[in-house]
């Protein structure tokens, strides 16, 4: 190294080393490594699909870490190389005497061997400057300008490299989104490093199931294939699909019915993919809500129909029971029987009055027996009253009213209208109450008359 420095000089050595570093950085930036340059691979690792891959695969995370280090190394090579070239140039200027040393400062050791002493200048003015040459400002002002120039060169080199690296990384990622917007039931994101050999990943999402059980099903996997000019062949694991690639990607995709239909995929990013997923999720939510509401309405309609059918049955039962109650003649028959038996007792009492005294004891006993028969008739009347009071009309009215409330609460209109049947049932109950009151009063009166006749017959018999 010492011999090299002596032969080439420090300035040339720095310039050559800096140039080699810049060349190495450029080569690392443009030479493909496994179908992609280091900036392109770093761009893929920084993308959404790259982040997902690192989360799922430890080896991918390690590879992306190495690519990131290599990408930073390129930046350092280019930056330091440019800085070395600039420093070498400044050193050459210094060696040529264009950058003077401050007065009274010793000559730097590594400069003394390669430089000659310039002619003395007038006292207090420092070394004389060669005639005809550009004069760098003397003293510390000149050194400050040199430092500023070096820093500016470093910043310019770093900025240029960052711009080139970012452009290469973005341009090297092919990304297409196969989605027609709201209303489409599926979306697919295809991403790979641009080049003749496709090696990337795909993501897909589709609406599956039937509402109200719809859901968004997602999947992902390796994307392979080739690109040759405007022709493309992509394989997502189900066999190659052929198409054309340009501003958009158009694939001829085999459908479920066996037909082949073109599918257009436009340039898209991870943000577009996330938007497509959000739209599909909202679509599924809307479909499920609408289907659930429709199903609920169908269930409600079925319940209304069932309640109407029950209402029809209960109205028929109420009408029949009310009619039966209205037309019942049991109480009237019981009263008529009591009247007939009372008449028998009255007739037997008249016989007693016309018979000779010897027969009157026997006749009085007959009249008393007739009164007992009337008592028995009164018991039958009271039993029939109780039977009629235990009728089903009241329960029938309650059932019809309950059916009506059920239909109304479900949002329907009772069909048929229960008002007529309920009114008929209430009238039957009212008429029954009046009939029972009349029968009780009449029956008790007849029974009292029968006992009065029996008491008169006993008195007349003299027994």
pLDDT, tens digit (0-9, with 9 covering 90-100), for 185-241: 999 999 999 889 999 999 999 999 999 999 999 999 999 999 999 999 999 998 899
Rounded to an integer, what distance in angstroms lies between the CA atom of residue 220 and that of residue 206? 12
pLDDT, tens digit (0-9, with 9 covering 90-100), for 321-340: 999 999 999 999 999 999 99
pLDDT tier for residue 169 given thresholds of 50, 70 and 90: very low
| Average of per-residue pLDDT values in the chain | 82
Token pair for 54: 């690192």
Q: What are the angstrom distances between the C-alpha of 85 and each of 11, 12, 298?
A: 9, 9, 83
Across the range 426-442, mean pLDDT stands at 97
pLDDT, tens digit (0-9, with 9 covering 90-100), for 44-97: 676 656 655 665 566 766 777 777 777 778 887 787 878 777 777 766 666 555
What's the start-to-end Cα distance of the chain, in Å? 171
DSSP characters over 12-78: HHHHHHHHHHHHHHHHHHHS-SSSS-HHHHHHHHHSHHHHHHHHH-HHHHHHHHHHHHHHHHHHHHH
């Amino acid at each position: 190294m010492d011999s090299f420095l002596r032969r080439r000089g420090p300035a040339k050595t720095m310039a050559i080393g800096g140039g080699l570093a810049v060349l190495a950085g450029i080569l690392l930036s443009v030479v493909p490594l496994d179908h992609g340059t280091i900036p392109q691979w770093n761009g893929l690792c920084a993308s959404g699909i790259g982040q997902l891959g690192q989360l799922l695969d430890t080896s991918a995370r390690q590879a992306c870490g190495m690519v990131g280090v290599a990408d930073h190394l390129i930046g350092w090579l280019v930056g330091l190389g440019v800085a070395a070239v600039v420093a070498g140039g400044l050193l050459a200027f210094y060696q040529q005497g264009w950058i003077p040393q401050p007065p009274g400062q010793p000559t730097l050791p590594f400069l003394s061997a390669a430089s000659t002493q310039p002619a003395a200048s007038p006292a207090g003015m420092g070394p004389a400057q060669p005639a005809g040459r550009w004069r760098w400002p003397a003293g510390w002002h000149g050194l400050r300008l040199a430092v500023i120039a070096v820093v500016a060169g470093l910043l310019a080199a770093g900025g240029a490299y960052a711009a080139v690296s970012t452009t290469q990384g973005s341009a090297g990622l092919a990304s297409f989104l196969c989605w027609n917007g709201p209303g489409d039931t599926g979306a697919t994101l295809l991403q790979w490093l641009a080049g003749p050999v496709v090696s990337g990943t795909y993501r897909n999402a589709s609406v599956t199931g039937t509402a109200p059980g719809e859901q968004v099903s997602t999947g992902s996997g390796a994307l392979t294939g080739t690109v040759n000019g405007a022709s493309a062949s992509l394989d997502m694991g189900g066999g190659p699909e052929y198409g054309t690639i340009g501003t958009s990607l158009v694939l001829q995709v085999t459908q479920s019915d066996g037909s082949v239909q073109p599918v257009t995929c436009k340039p898209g990013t991870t943000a577009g993919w996330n938007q497509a997923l959000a739209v599909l999720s909202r679509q599924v939510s809307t479909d499920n809500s609408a289907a659930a509401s429709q199903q609920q309405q169908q269930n409600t309609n079925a319940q209304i129909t069932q309640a109407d059918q029950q209402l029809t049955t209960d109205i028929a039962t109420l009408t029949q029971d009310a009619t039966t109650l209205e037309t019942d003649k049991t109480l009237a028959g019981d009263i008529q029987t009591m009247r007939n038996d009372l008449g028998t007792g009255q007739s037997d009492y008249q016989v007693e009055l016309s018979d000779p005294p010897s027969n009157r004891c026997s006749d009085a006993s007959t009249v008393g027996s007739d009164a007992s028969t009337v008592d028995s008739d009164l018991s039958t009347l009271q039993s029939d009253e109780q039977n009629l009071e235990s009728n089903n009309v009241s329960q029938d009215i309650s059932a019809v009213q309950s059916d009506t409330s059920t239909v109304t609460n479900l949002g329907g209109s009772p069909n048929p209208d229960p008002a007529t049947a309920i009114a008929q049932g209430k009238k039957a109950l009212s008429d029954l109450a009046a009939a029972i009151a009349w029968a009780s009063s009449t029956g008790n009166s007849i029974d009292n008359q029968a006992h009065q006749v029996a008491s008169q017959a006993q008195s007349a018999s003299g027994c």
